[in-house]
Amino acid sequence: MTGDYVGDVYSLELNHFYLMVLLAWCLAVVPADHSWSLDNLRAARSPQPVPYWSVVLLRSQLVIVFFFAGLAKLNGEWLHSRPAHHLLTSANRSPLIHYLAGLPYADGVMVYGGLLLDLSLPWLWLWPRSRLLAFLLTAGFMTLNGLAFHIGVFPCTHLKAQGYLVDGAGALT
């Protein structure tokens, strides 16, 4: 994951960079070679069970970042659509943002949709029955952000990190 940021560090927002570095440090201390690693494939070893503490550590980083992103949006500036209005009216817009800016209530949907998503995703990820919904919402959100706002490699990195939410059998439930 740290390789993702090397050529793109200037286009990342600070919290995105923080999460990528934090996940990289977590991967340095967890036994990440137990399952689905190249070492296991080359040695033709059967995968070993991954200790649950390492899964909880990685999952908690994603949950904490999204929850606090939602809390940070509970301020007057965000709730009055100022950041959304700025993003939708900036000069260097993508064609998608140009289209969205023309829609009525676009900034309100962006503000309150982002707030609701940030505050609900952690709980959806923690409840096993709703992980598939959380994965689909996250994939859509990250894809839209990546296409619309050109925020670097963070959407791709976060989609890769969704693997931390998958249970041992490879299922999202």
Neighbour count for residue 33 (Cβ, 10 Å): 14
Locate 7 and state its tokens: 């050529």
Residue 50 CA: distances (Å) to CA of 3, 69, 74, 149 = 24, 29, 37, 36
CA pair distance 157, 32, nearest whole angstrom: 17
CA triple 90-115-17, angle to 5 deg: 65
Contact (CB, 8 A) for 4 and 153: yes
> Which of the residues 69, 70, 73, 81 is marked catalytic?
73
- Minimal CA–CA distance to 17: which of 160, 112, 154? 154
Active-site residue flag, 160: no
CA pair distance 32, 77, nearest whole angstrom: 41
Q: Which residues are catalytic?
A: 73
